[in-house]
Amino acid sequence: MNDSKLFHIFKVIRSFLFSSVNKEFLIFLFFLILSGTFWLLMTLNETYEKEIEVPVTLVDIPKNVVLTSDTTTDIRVTVRDKGYYLLTYLYSNKIHPIKVKFNSYAKNTGTGTVASAELQKLIYQQLFNSSHITSIKPDKYEFFFNYGLKKRVPVKLNGKIRLGRSYYLAKVMFSPDSIDIYAGRDVLDSIKYVYTERLNITNLTDTVIRQVPLLKTRGVKSVPDNVKISLFPDILTEEKVEVPIVAVNMPEGKILRTFPSRVTVTFTVGASMFRTIQPDKFKVIVDYNELIDSPSEKCNVYLRYIPHGVRNAKMDVNQVDYLIEEQ
């Protein structure tokens, strides 16, 4: 039963392929493929320029050396040759990483440089004889190292955090909050902080925890090279407290009384912090020396101190009545 079905299908396909209409189609398809093949061969026989990436790897690094740049770097090499040779470079394993021996180029300055001419010589060893290098970018390979000299520096945020309406950024935490950097002594002395790569967040209303890479600096190695950042927003609330007025710079034997004796301070603070805000954390003063220098019916009142986390603090009055008494 199955054999008869297969034979029937075969007859249908054969009759379809060898019908007069489909014979013409097959002939057309044959010449189309043939012409395409000739066009491809002629195109690949033309000369082109193509940029290819060649990895450069530093090898034979002594155990007491700390490399402060990448071990492997890609250089972009523009090669001129016929199309089929360029295809070989792009889609085969013809090009292998260039290996640069550490001791051959390392200097006492903590740097090493492989010039363009030396790079070309190493690359030409892998190219066909007909290939020609027209440019190399960058035009040299540099590496940086030291012998374990390091410094511990704090991490700082690089970027812009835009809070949602009525929110503020209550806390920013890094884990770790400090990292080790390796570099030359002069470079280490010039670095006070290490920044994250730019982080931009808009309409922040809830806690965000992310792993962010650190901003790379030429010739500097960061350990670790990324940190966890935690952003804690808090909603702002408006509150009021009654704060007593305190006289300062009072001479002995005198008392300054103000009317009223307290002022109302209005401020905004994160909802989670409000319970920690106490009136005695504020300080409102009247300066006796100012009254002597500029006598007036009323005295100026100043909000001298506010607690951490308080924003937009302002008093309901800036002047009050007063009375100076002898003790």
Which of 16-25, 60-69, 73-82, 165-174 is predicted with the least confidence, judged by mean pLDDT?
16-25
pLDDT at 181: 95
In this structure, the answer to whether residues 32 and 57 fall within a common structural domain is no
Which of 180-184, 206-210, 308-312 is predicted with the least confidence, judged by mean pLDDT?
308-312
> Who has greater pLDDT, 38 or 231?
231
In this structure, the answer to whether residues 224 and 280 fall within a common structural domain is no
Last residue of a domain, one of 193, 215, 235: 235
In this structure, the answer to whether residues 229 and 278 fall within a common structural domain is no
Distance of CA 112 to the CA centre of its chain: 27
The pLDDT confidence band at residue 221, using thresholds 50, 70 and 90, is: very high
pLDDT at 266: 95
In this structure, the answer to whether residues 22 and 84 fall within a common structural domain is no
In this structure, the answer to whether residues 289 and 270 fall within a common structural domain is yes
Mean predicted confidence (pLDDT) in 180-191: 91
* Single-letter code of the amino acid located at 47: T
pLDDT at 222: 94
pLDDT greater than 90 at residue 157: yes
Mean predicted confidence (pLDDT) in 318-323: 92
pLDDT at 11: 62
pLDDT in tens, 20-64: 555 666 666 666 676 666 565 666 567 778 888 889 999 999 999
Mean predicted confidence (pLDDT) in 148-157: 94
Nearest-angstrom CA–CA distance, 96 and 101: 16
| Selection from 98, 111, 108 nearest residue 59 by Cα | 98
Last residue of a domain, one of 212, 235, 258: 235
Mean predicted confidence (pLDDT) in 270-279: 84
In this structure, the answer to whether residues 286 and 231 fall within a common structural domain is no
Q: What is the DSSP letter of 279?
A: G
In this structure, the answer to whether residues 131 and 172 fall within a common structural domain is no
Q: Which string of DSSP letters, residue by residue, matches 145-177? A: EESS-EEEEEEE--EEEEEPTTEEEEEEEEESS
The pLDDT confidence band at residue 325, using thresholds 50, 70 and 90, is: confident
Q: For residue 181, what are its two tokens?
A: 């950097």
Please count the CA atoms within 13 angstroms of the CA of 245 that sit on its side-chain side: 26
What range does the domain containing 322 cover? 237-326
Q: For residue 122, what are its two tokens?
A: 């190493």
Size (the chain), residues: 327
pLDDT greater than 70 at residue 301: yes
* Pair 285, 244: CB distance under 8 Å: no
Last residue of a domain, one of 95, 115, 146: 146
Average pLDDT value over all residues in the chain: 86
In this structure, the answer to whether residues 135 and 176 fall within a common structural domain is no
Burial (CB < 10 A; 0-12, 13-18, 19+), residue 314, is: exposed
In this structure, the answer to whether residues 292 and 259 fall within a common structural domain is yes
In this structure, the answer to whether residues 296 and 215 fall within a common structural domain is no
In this structure, the answer to whether residues 173 and 184 fall within a common structural domain is yes
The pLDDT confidence band at residue 275, using thresholds 50, 70 and 90, is: confident
In this structure, the answer to whether residues 258 and 308 fall within a common structural domain is yes
User: For the chain, what is the domain count?
Assistant: 4
Nearest-angstrom CA–CA distance, 300 and 320: 7
Mean predicted confidence (pLDDT) in 113-122: 90
The pLDDT confidence band at residue 18, using thresholds 50, 70 and 90, is: low
The CATH number of the domain holding residue 104 is 2.170.120
